[in-house]
Structure 1
Amino acid sequence: MRKLYFLLPGTDGKFACGGLWAELKTFKLAQQVCQADVVTYRQRETGKLFLDDLLKEQDLDDVIFVISWGFDIAKLAAKLKSYNVVYHAHSAGYKFNLPASIPIIAVSRNTLGYWGQKSPNALIFYLPNEISYEFKNLHLERDIDVLVQARKSSEYLLKQLIPALQQKCKVQVVTSYVEDLPGLFNRAKVYLYDSAEYWAQQSVSEGFGLQPMEALACGCQVFSSVNGGLSDYLDPGFNCYKIAAYSQEYDVQRILKVIDASISPTLSEDLFAEHRVENIIQRLQVIVEELNEFFDHKKQQASNIPTLTRGRLAKLFIKRIYGKFQKKYFQGL
């Protein structure tokens, strides 16, 4: 079994975000399956390996580099082209292509489908993000009517909907890191999440959207957008409500109705089972074994399946049009 090196630009300060926490969670789970370590490549950190130092070693065939930081993938893939590399894909929509020599592990089925089309000759797997067991309904009295985190929220949510709701109920807007997020979710009746506008501006997709699922697990009623990876598990009308639906007044009406009902969603644990640690470790074991088999094969065999380059797609298009022309011509004889 090769050792996994999870490449990250850094693990603190300006790099702190949901994607970093999700990647570090995956790293911790991978340590239960094989040897794994974190390697930084932008800033040196005490007690952590640094990529440029590692690349000075003579033989790195016994390791697999796991790259994940979207905006750095193209450069990292080029830099590490002679090594064993896996792309752990969170968001979709970045303007780069990957060779068939780089397998892809997608965190959502939405991202899985994106790369299944964009990189059809690559080995590809689905590995959902973890929802830890601390996210559960504690059945406490909920003293917050509406909870929203400002980061990634739409302008509509912050400047229209929230002010309207503040006139009618108790709203808490979170603007900084929360130490006890499960505790906060257990205090809230309704959680609002609207990231479609944010990701449209970034020109990439919502990779998974952990917080709406974490809120659901804690017994919140969730009003959310269903863009990107959110569509993996959100089912408006059945386990959540679609936010920004037609008018501000309609949103307010539905949210107040849910608050007045004071009913927590009755969701089966099956919704979360795919994202719990036991399932993820089982999937990781299979994925790591297959990756090792693939990199063994790669040493002996070059890729020989035609890729979907622009040039090949143009040739296929011309061939298809010519085929249709021939068919019509001979039918007319």
Structure 2
Amino acid sequence: MRTLYFLLPGTRERYACGGLWAELKAFQLAQQVTTAAVVTYQQREPDTLFLPDLLQTLARSPDDRDRSIFVLSWGFHVPQLAQRLRGYHCLYHAHSAGYGFRLPPSVPIISVSRNTLGYWGQRSPHALLYYLPNEISPDFCDRQQPRDLDVLVQARKSSTYLLQQLVPALESQGRVEVVRSYVEDLPALFNRAKVYLYDSAEYWAMQRVTEGFGLQPLEALACGCQVFSSVNGGLSDYLDPGFNSQKIAGYATGFDVARIGAALRSPQPPLDPALLAPHRPAAIVQRLRVILREVNQFFDYCQGDRSSDLPPWSRRRLALLWCQQKAQKLRDRLF
């Protein structure tokens, strides 16, 4: 298989976020399937490849260039990187959707959620499309220990409703913990909480892109928390309100308070292991092996300047097809 180069702007504090951690986990899993390396492109870092240097090296070796695949993932940077890497093998590891750019059919797309997969199925219908969920590490599990926190909230991405209305209203129900900084041991924190609240719909609406996956609610479920969450974007892949979770911001603050209070008084029902199984490392590596085999076969086919002969879904072509359809309906009525 070809070598995978995971492109990231950087891996240090400036770029620390859930998307970075998810991509680094994907990189580590890919190392179990093929040779892989992290490549930064906005800042040099010790013991890490830097994109301009790598491109100079590959330019001197056509064979190494053909045996390489660049993995794009940082949504806002993908259009510029795809343009910069024209002539190289690239694939897009898609997290959030809605950035507005398009990719040529020569770029396969691996989506972390079915929500994002559907987005690209409509937007890039002639590209190879695959589904590869994000990893939930085995550390996220129910340790069956006493829980001293009634309600847990992480401030980042939380809505103003959650922080300014719901949390104050819940403080009379018990101990409410709002985390506003990086947590070193998140599984331990989830195992201290009875109820976990997550409401990211407002945040992503302001960003004008979607929730790509939403790791925290699934990690909280894995640790035995009862989860009240928004169900936007990738969260709809696995959250099933009324069965494995509850929808937050349900009509009124008082209604939310009543439902969360009832959850605090009731034991957490056992979580169906099938919910987590596709997100554990072994299952992801198995899927990734199949996906990368097909991607490598595709790039083998593309050798020799074989270009796509499928017509693109341009606005002009869709308008022409619409006119042809209307004209045919008119002819059917007249004749």
- TM-score class, shorter-chain normalisation, is over 0.9
Choose the corresponding residue for 2:307, options 295, 299, 302.
302
Choose the corresponding residue for 2:150, options 145, 157, 160.
145
Match of 1:217 in 2: 222
Match of 1:281 in 2: 285
2:39 alignment partner AA: V
Is 1:204 aligned with 2:204? Answer: no
For 1:4 and 1:171, the matched residues in 2 are separated by 44
Residue-pair matches, total: 329
Q: CA shift at 1:265, angstroms?
A: 3.0
Match of 1:272 in 2: 276
For 2:121 and 2:16, the matched residues in 1 are separated by 29
Deviations 1:229-285 (A, max 9, x none): 000000000000000000000000000111122x12311211100000111000111
2:289 alignment partner AA: Q
Choose the corresponding residue for 1:159, options 148, 152, 164.
164
Match of 1:33 in 2: 33
2:272 alignment partner AA: S
- Range 312-321 or range 191-200, more displaced: 312-321
* Contact kept in structure 2, 1:216 and 1:265, CA below 8 Å: no
Match of 2:13 in 1: 13
- Range 86-95 or range 165-174, more displaced: 165-174
Match of 2:296 in 1: 292
2:235 alignment partner AA: L
SS at match of 1:148: strand
Match of 1:241 in 2: 246
Q: CA shift at 1:310, angstroms?
A: 1.0
CA-atom RMSD in angstroms: 0.7
1:27 alignment partner AA: F
For 1:92 and 1:291, the matched residues in 2 are separated by 21
For 1:322 and 1:35, the matched residues in 2 are separated by 55
Q: CA shift at 1:167, angstroms?
A: 2.5
SS at match of 2:56: coil
2:287 alignment partner AA: R
* Contact kept in structure 2, 1:220 and 1:265, CA below 8 Å: no
Residue identity (%): 63
SS at match of 1:73: helix
Choose the corresponding residue for 2:82, options 77, 95, 103.
77
For 1:33 and 1:278, the matched residues in 2 are separated by 11
SS at match of 1:116: helix
Deviations 1:83-120 (A, max 9, x none): 00000000010110000000000000000111011000
For 1:186 and 1:8, the matched residues in 2 are separated by 32
For 1:12 and 1:304, the matched residues in 2 are separated by 42
For 2:207 and 2:318, the matched residues in 1 are separated by 28
Q: Which runs of at least 4 in structure 1 moved beyond 2 Å after TM superposition?
A: none
2:91 alignment partner AA: V
